[in-house]
Structure 1
Amino acid sequence: MDTATEGTTLPADIAAEAERHDLLTLGIEEEYLLVDAAEPRAVEAVDDVFAELPEEIRGGVQHEYYRSQIEVASPPRLDLADLRAEMTRLRSGVAAAAERAGARLVAVGTGPAAGPNLRIVDKPRYHRMRDRFGDLSPGQGMCGTHVHVSIPDPETGVKVLNHLRPWLPVLQAAAANSPLFAGRDTGYASWRSMMWERWPTVGPTPYLRSHEHYLTLISDLEASGAMLDEGMLYWYARLSANYPTVEIRLGDVTPTLDDAMLLTALARGLVATLLREVRDGIEAPDVEHPLLMAAHWRAAHDGLEGLNIDMATREPRPAWRLMRQLFDYVRPELERHGDLETTTVLMGRLRAGGTGGARQRAMLARGASVADVVDELARLTKATEPDR
């Protein structure tokens, strides 16, 4: 829910190589649901899972808001293959620990199966959040993906945030992975997105005049009571409070590492492309906030399988066409960072197989049960090889 652990100090050799070639580093955080070993319902197993974690991955794993959730955070990396190796290690390690604790690790936006409301983790900050904001997120937990991309300084980072605003609904649509909630199809590709928007600071990043303006808004929001601290600034993109990165809150956690690596690479390509525009003095388009809200709603409702809004024309277009437009836009930076070949393959796999949400619905259409869907999600979560 908030990113207390956003990575580690960048190793000197990676930092030197990134600076020498003017490349951006990246990292990823993923939140997961813990479900019963035999049934599809979420379980309060996080403490038991922590007790089973091997020492070598403990530094990359942390609690989340509910006792039925767990989170991992990669160290910053320059090479996408290295990042995938780190996430493979974390996913497989936590999945194995969950199985030893009598549970399963599931990468899904929110609980697909019915079950009782579960307790929050026993931390003072989480109790303060519950006392202040009440029952804004009942159920089993909401699990998302956050990508961190390096920036040179906060002032430049704020300009990048302005340029990011029109592109984020497409990335949210591509991450859609929570059509089911409490045993039923919600009619949304990402029901987690709709639940998440009940928190007072969730939404598109506003158009920012400067880093000072950014800090003033944070101070004003804290004073208003809408958030306890900067960690509760839940805009879809923000500056990290602890590291020199832009954090893009992509949407649902994705079921496969293929999907996660695709979106991570696109996020870096996008930030790198926008950094060049900032350096060239190109002003960010000041897209109207209601239009952005509509585009994010459309992303949650349709995923990539329906429509979204082309911010240049303000007209609905097929979401996959906008996804391809994003890919073409960032292609030079994908190539410069060494990600083009991998990203091209992963785009093809996503196009062929669909988003996590579309795949869940396809299973149900073939006669599968919610329990079958959860079984498949658990399998995909711990898989280390491409599934498609």
Structure 2
Amino acid sequence: MDATELPGSRPGSGTGPESRPGPAVSTFGVEEEFQLVDRLTRAPVARAEPVIEAASPSLGEQVQREFYGCMVEVCTRPATTRTDLRAQLAALRATLAEAAAESRCLLVASGTAVVPPAEPISVSDTPRYRRMARRFGACVDGRLGVVCGCHVHIGTADRAQALFLANRVRPWLPALQALAANSPFSGGLDSGFASWRVVEFGRWPTVGPAPVLDAAAYEETAEALVDSGTLMDRRMIYWFARPSEHHPTVEFRVADSNADLDVTVLVALLLRGLCATFLSAAGTGGPPPAVPAVRLRAAHRYAARYGSTGLVLDPFSGDEVPVRTLLAALVAAAAPGLDAAGDLTEVDRLLAGLRGRGNGAERQRAAFGRTGRLHDVVDGLAELTARA
């Protein structure tokens, strides 16, 4: 994200959480990436420029370009309550959907393009994106590579605290990935995965679980990645959990973009609850959980493959368990922070609703199963995206 103001940031100062308990997490924010699809073909179309121009008088810097010309991104301002966060997200979506309609296209929240474009979509015309396209051309195809994610920012006091949280939340991210899986179709076919976005985006360097790092190790690692040419700059650190380079936040990048706003809010609430819980015990807790990197990657692969149905891999034990078991453990781990914010009952309600209607991947497949038409899948996503 080429942002001037990241959501969820909260100014702060002080020593890292390893030396004293951190402050309670009070702010969070969300970035959502969307596709613009043609009203007739339902395929991605490069109309981001006129859509952003139409939305900018209302949204200002909260609406931005993304890597491809068929994508737009919006970001909330820092929020302290779930009500504020939901209202901001709904308003951003409504404004952007109206702007898309003016350019004869639909706003769609899906991790991948259901109907592929007939011709490759060009990279957005910004200096940084052009440089990225030149240096990482093998990752740039303009078709299957059009992927959209949802990123949650949690306000922190400093980088040390952001890394403290990233180190402790990382084993819980496969469960959230499974919950938010919303990209079963790719290239006009069922990929066999609930979240093909994670697989497709994984071709870019550093995409995956973050290593366990303190502030000094982070600096050394980030410098090495750039100096070696692995990355063009630090903003290309695409770990599933990372500290912001410019603002006091920790960013979680594991969720697909979801048409169902309840899913986006649920993921954000669970992440804030986990962070608040871990911060409250920062002065007495031990080291982060010793989860082997190979097992954690396998857990993410399970989550991408099966989503919220079937079995997932428990990163802590290495056992295959039902998704509900891992999600129940996640809610229990986050419960102190959720309760402190008054969000525990709402999380229970959102989870119950999601179990009743299925997550994004299940709903996309169900829509296709009813008619056998990918156009109907896209129409359902567009209607749900705008309805928020």
TM-score interval w.r.t. the shorter chain? over 0.9
TM-score between the two structures when normalised by the length of structure 2: 0.93
Aligned alpha-carbon RMSD (Å): 1.8
1:161-216 deviation line (CA, Å, top 9, x unaligned): 111121111111111101001211010101111011111111110021x2011111
Between the aligned partners of 2:328 and 2:182, the Cα distance in structure 1 is 20
1:282-312 deviation line (CA, Å, top 9, x unaligned): 2211211111111111111111112211123
Match of 1:278, SS state, is: coil
Between the aligned partners of 2:39 and 2:366, the Cα distance in structure 1 is 24
- Is the alpha carbon distance of 1:216 and 1:268 closer, same or farther for their aligned partners in structure 2, counting shifts above 3 Å? same
User: In the alignment, which residue of structure 2 is the partner of 1:206?
Assistant: 211
Between the aligned partners of 1:8 and 1:291, the Cα distance in structure 2 is 30
User: In the alignment, which residue of structure 1 is the partner of 2:48?
Assistant: 46
User: In the alignment, which residue of structure 1 is the partner of 2:24?
Assistant: 22
Between the aligned partners of 2:258 and 2:306, the Cα distance in structure 1 is 16
Q: CA deviation at 1:58?
A: 2.3
Identity across the alignment (%): 39
Structure 2 residue 244 is the aligned partner of structure 1 residue 262? no
TM-score between the two structures when normalised by the length of structure 1: 0.93
Task: Report matched runs for 1:365-376 at 5 Å.
Answer: 365-376=369-380
Between the aligned partners of 2:348 and 2:340, the Cα distance in structure 1 is 14
Which of 152, 156, 159 does residue 154 from structure 1 map onto? 159
Which of 316, 327, 332 does residue 328 from structure 1 map onto? 332
Between the aligned partners of 1:137 and 1:88, the Cα distance in structure 2 is 31
Structure 2 residue 98 is the aligned partner of structure 1 residue 96? yes
Which of 61, 64, 71 does residue 62 from structure 1 map onto? 64
Task: Report matched runs for 1:107-126 at 5 Å.
Answer: 107-115=109-117, 116-126=119-129
Paired amino acid for 1:274? F
Between the aligned partners of 1:198 and 1:86, the Cα distance in structure 2 is 32
Structure 2 residue 242 is the aligned partner of structure 1 residue 238? yes
User: In the alignment, which residue of structure 2 is the partner of 1:134?
Assistant: 137
Paired amino acid for 2:7? G
Hey, which bits of structure 1, 4+ residues long, moved more than 4 A?
1-5, 8-12
User: In the alignment, which residue of structure 2 is the partner of 1:172?
Assistant: 177
Task: Give unpaired runs (5+ residues) of structure 2.
Answer: 13-22
- Is the alpha carbon distance of 1:22 and 1:166 closer, same or farther for their aligned partners in structure 2, counting shifts above 3 Å? closer
User: In the alignment, which residue of structure 1 is the partner of 2:19?
Assistant: none
Q: Matched residue pairs, number?
A: 375
Q: CA deviation at 1:237?
A: 0.1
Structure 2 residue 360 is the aligned partner of structure 1 residue 359? no
Paired amino acid for 1:316? E
User: In the alignment, which residue of structure 2 is the partner of 1:186?
Assistant: 191
Match of 2:99, SS state, is: helix
Q: CA deviation at 1:23?
A: 4.1
Equivalent pair of 1:23/1:337 in contact (CA under 8 Å): no
Between the aligned partners of 1:100 and 1:263, the Cα distance in structure 2 is 31
Between the aligned partners of 1:260 and 1:312, the Cα distance in structure 2 is 25
Match of 2:139, SS state, is: coil
Equivalent pair of 1:203/1:235 in contact (CA under 8 Å): yes
Q: CA deviation at 1:4?
A: 5.8
Task: Give unpaired runs (5+ residues) of structure 1.
Answer: 13-20
Q: CA deviation at 1:109?
A: 0.5
- Is the alpha carbon distance of 1:235 and 1:129 closer, same or farther for their aligned partners in structure 2, counting shifts above 3 Å? same
Equivalent pair of 2:154/2:251 in contact (CA under 8 Å): yes
Task: Report matched runs for 1:297-308 at 5 Å.
Answer: 297-308=301-312
Match of 2:371, SS state, is: coil
User: In the alignment, which residue of structure 2 is the partner of 1:17?
Assistant: none
Between the aligned partners of 1:22 and 1:223, the Cα distance in structure 2 is 36
Equivalent pair of 1:197/1:203 in contact (CA under 8 Å): yes
Deviates more, 1:1-10 or 1:317-326: 1-10
